Amino acid sequence: MKYIYLSILMCLLGQASYAQFEVKGRVADLETEEPLIGVSVYYDSLGQKSGVMTDLYGNFTIQVPNREILLHFVMMGYDNKEMRSKNSSLVLMKASSIGLQEVLVTGNRDERRRDELPMAISKIGSDDIDKFKPNSLDQVLNTIPGVHMVDLGNEQHMMSIRQPISTKSLFLYLEDGLPIRPTGNFNHNAMLEMDMAMMDRIEVVRGPASSIYGSEAIGGAINLITTKPTHSPEARFGVRISDQGYARTDFKATGTQGRLGVAIGGYLARQKDGYREYSDMEKNAITANLTYALSNKTDVSAGMTWVDYRADMAGSIDSAGFFANEFKSLHRFTERDVNALRVKTRVDHRWSESGKTSFTFQYRNNTTDQIPSYRLSPRHNNGEINSNSFSSYVGLIQHTQEFNLLQGAILTGGVSFDNSPMAYEAYLIKVNKSEDGIFESYEETDSLLTDYEVDVRNMAAYTNFELKFTSRLQVSLGLRLDRFVYDYRNFLSKESFSGAPNSKDVFRSFSPRVGVIYNFTNDFGMFGNYSRGFVPPSVGELYRGVKVPELKPAKFDNFELGGWRSFLSNKLILDFAMYAMIGHDEIISVRLEDDSFINRNAGKTLHYGLEYSVKYKPVEQLALRASGSNSVHRYMEYVEKGNDFGWNEMPGAPSWIFNAGIDYRPVIVKGLKFSFEWQRVSSYFMDQENSEEYEGYNLLNARASYTFKFVEVWGNIMNITDELYATRASLSYGRKQYTPGLPRTFQVGLNINVGKRKRL
């Protein structure tokens, strides 16, 4: 009998040795607490090894032989972590200090490590945004090599990325990977429709990205990624004021309960009685993001952003007023009023560890009403009131599949549509000027300058294939096909200012990209690529003030070589990119013999340069950075009023832009931070003739903050030396025009963070 009992006992012990315990947990980013998708979670003990991947919410479920076993958490871009299974309900992973390995999503609409993307791409994280406390996005974007965002005041902007300073649709602005405005609608100032209080990070692709994102991604694509729900509840409230009349209140709250995650935030900003006369502004913005886990494989998310914005349009000033530090405005009624709504929903489904599909739908509604200062004519004492509106219905389906081919392959494909009916209406107004030339008031007329509707439809298909021939060599092939239809209906006669007849204009484009990456070591890699970008004429360029539309799409061929290298155990990181881009049929504004302007396709333009950045962190308390670009932008073929400007430099094209900074955290005072910044913009020509030149400027800025428990107080000094500078200088009708930048400005603020870990 004792042998029977002994046998039963041995069986029970044997079963116990193979008993499995279920462990569930969630993995998130240490700083943001946003879920981390695709983290490898595994154990390796006594010959038993098993692993799983985190799902779309960062959740994992793993069977372990005992509750004390050591779990390993591994993900590229993050430091490896180990934790006992019984303590792994919430695992917070720290982003790696190796900047080369950071994870980005903008390169091909999916998560990839930086060293897997054969393109010039940079990221501004939430910590940097929090450090700079920007009132306008140029204050953070200008730290990226090759990016020069021009502040026109009140969050209005111009841009320069591998192109001269411009308002043209050569830069694509995205919110969570979707264009803020549709193709064909003038996307200048699109970023003023963003909610800065809910901005988690910014990713910038430099150079054409048309093979994935389509038109307008010529100089670059800027993806503004909003805050997603965090695992633990947290909230922030902040206020700020400056001595130049700026005041702002921010709020944000986020958290997850069960399967539902919520993040909501916004801000109210006011500018009143600033350094520029007639430059007041009011802006209200709110963003809400919801996530819901239908299962461990399917995730549903929804988001909404609403912005209500109104600002005076002070216009530029002449050289006499600028150099006398008299920033007076000649206007008393010009303004811009924007109401923008974007609503999106997305379903993500992971079929397996190697395949996933996303379905996205977006609705946009936007109205911009203006009495624009740039349309006032001193010569004829008239101007216009205009209204531009659109509604958009956008759909996107994308699938990503991984293959066990050579060292690994990934195929991404998608189709999209965008149906955006637009309407534009403009009335002539008569303006009244005072004896000293100030536009004091206006009288409406019943004279319609422009009255049309355009249905803009864009159908596209794209694919991207990545193949690793070896562990170090990767090739990437991308291709996108676009078809645009502009269904134009004019409600005015052919004799009108905008007299183009009803028409249906169709534009097609084939946008390829080929890229190669070779990683010599884990901290040294290089890439090369060829890409083609395109942009069809915008609705305004094609039909406003036009009798017969004759414009063709502009195309750009870009050749690029770049690389990265880290030294001193990743304390020193170098990044660079060289490029040469040729533009064909660029759309430019040409002055005619009667001094009126018309849009025409220029022959060729040439753009080439070097972009670079250096980051050095010798000790934990000190960090140094520098980024810049040296570039040349020339007309190859360009004739205006019988003058051949071939090989002249394009106006608004500084040959050198540079930004450097020092961050310091003294050991003796925990929670105290200092940072100093130098911004340099070199001289550039103000006109096509290269007859007038603006000398450029240097700016010095300083920032400081102190955090104690959940309270942060901070202060910024912008333009420490009180330098007189213009964010933009141009020559029009023989007159120099300047947009003055901020004088020395003091700003203080207070943030209250509840439930958020202190970032010391």
The whole-number average pLDDT for the span 329-354 is 94
728 token code pair: 């933009």
Which one is predicted more confidently, 9 or 624? 624
Q: Rounded to an integer, what is the distance from CA 473 to the centroid of its chain?
A: 29
Residue 14, classed as helix, strand or coil, is helix
> Exposed/middle/buried for 224, CB within 10 Å: 0-12, 13-18, 19+?
buried
493-542 tens-digit pLDDT: 998 999 999 999 999 999 999 999 999 987 899 999 999 998 899 898 88
User: Model confidence at 209, in pLDDT bands (50, 70, 90)?
Assistant: confident
The whole-number average pLDDT for the span 20-49 is 79
148-173 tens-digit pLDDT: 999 999 999 999 999 999 888 889 99
Least confident of 183-187, 466-470, 706-710: 183-187
Of 708, 716, 715, give the one whose Cα is nearest residue 752: 708
Distance from C-alpha of 293 to C-alpha of 261, rounded to nearest angstrom: 9
User: What's the whole-number average pLDDT of the chain?
Assistant: 89
The CA dihedral of 315, 319, 320, 321, to the nearest 10 degrees, is 30
408-420 tens-digit pLDDT: 999 999 999 999 9
Q: At residue 113, does pLDDT exceed 90? A: no
536-586 tens-digit pLDDT: 998 988 898 888 888 888 899 999 999 999 888 788 999 999 999 999 988
Which one is predicted more confidently, 4 or 305? 305
Residue ranges of domains in the chain:
17-93, 223-754
Q: How far, CA to CA in Å, does 664 sit from each of 627, 676, 702?
A: 18, 9, 12
The whole-number average pLDDT for the span 348-355 is 90
What's residue 227's pLDDT?
94
The whole-number average pLDDT for the span 635-661 is 88
What's residue 54's pLDDT?
84
Of 38, 37, 46, 30, give the one whose Cα is nearest residue 79: 30
CATH fold group of domain 17-93: Immunoglobulin-like (2.60.40)
The CATH number of the structural domain formed by 223-754 is 2.40.170.20
What's residue 3's pLDDT?
46
The whole-number average pLDDT for the span 742-758 is 87
47 token code pair: 């010959």
283-334 tens-digit pLDDT: 999 999 999 999 888 999 999 999 999 999 999 999 999 999 999 999 999 9
What's residue 77's pLDDT?
65
Asked if residues 253 and 264 have their Cβ atoms less than 8 Å apart, the reply is yes
The whole-number average pLDDT for the span 54-67 is 82
Strands 21-29 and 90-93, how do they pair? parallel
What's residue 53's pLDDT?
81
Q: At residue 760, does pLDDT exceed 60? A: no
Hunting for tokens 């600028």 — which residue is that?
322
Over pLDDT 70: what percentage of the chain? 93
Residue 492 φ/ψ region, left for φ over 0, alpha for ψ in the -120 to 50 degree band, beta for the rest: beta
User: Model confidence at 13, in pLDDT bands (50, 70, 90)?
Assistant: very low
What's residue 215's pLDDT?
85
